[in-house]
Amino acid sequence: MSRLDSFIRRLKAQRACLDLAAHLVRELDGDVLELGLGNGRTYDHLRHLFPDRKIYVCERRVAAHPDCVPPAELLLLGDMRDTLRAACGLLGRRVALAHLDPATGEGVASRALAAELALLIVPLLRPGAVLVSEPAIDQLGLTPLPLPESVAPGRYNLYRYVSCRSSA
């Protein structure tokens, strides 16, 4: 399998998971949180899925296609470890869907970063919210959800947030 093959497979898995997640949270009010803007393609997909919700985007520095730059008031600029901490007041317990794809490659460093970010994302989620994540996350309160049929286990990940209180 070439890198082109695996890239296509990864993008299709991402899209299938986002589409399913959008369906899963259709009855749950709340905002959307995109961790990483990149070129803005996934953000644009989220805009199509959630035309009526606020989509907040964390990014260190905007380098997206001009058509895919979020409005300034929804853009949380800086290191995600800082902006997510600061976003608690703005977004705490208001996010219905979050998408984490730090795209730092595979391996130990990427998983460590994902775990660190997950700790900061969970306090922003509403009970019942869905987290779509490329790296797997092992985090209290996040329950793995079945993937779309087209997505092989581990290629992408879906979690439902069940607050510790409601699961107790």
Please state whether beta strands 95-100 and 125-133 pair in parallel, antiparallel, or not at all (unpaired).
parallel
Q: Which of 142, 90, 166, 150 is nearest to 158 (CA)?
A: 142
Give the nearer residue to a copy of itself in terms of CB position, either 1 or 108.
1
**Residue 99 binds a copy of itself (CB under 8 A):** no
Q: Smallest gap, in angstroms, from Cβ of residue 162 to a copy of itself?
A: 29
Q: Smallest gap, in angstroms, from Cβ of residue 34 to a copy of itself?
A: 12
Query: In this structure, are residues 14 and 134 in contact, taking their beta carbons and an 8 Å threshold?
Result: yes
Q: Smallest gap, in angstroms, from Cβ of residue 57 to a copy of itself?
A: 14
Give CA–CA dist 29/103, Å, rounded: 28
- Name the residue type at position 35: L
Angle at 26 between CA 125 and CA 22, to 5 degrees: 75
- Please select the residue that binds a copy of itself; options are 23, 26, 48, 60, rule is CB under 8 A: 48
Binding site for a copy of itself (CB under 8 A): 1-5, 7-8, 11-12, 14-15, 40-42, 44-45, 47-48, 65, 67-68
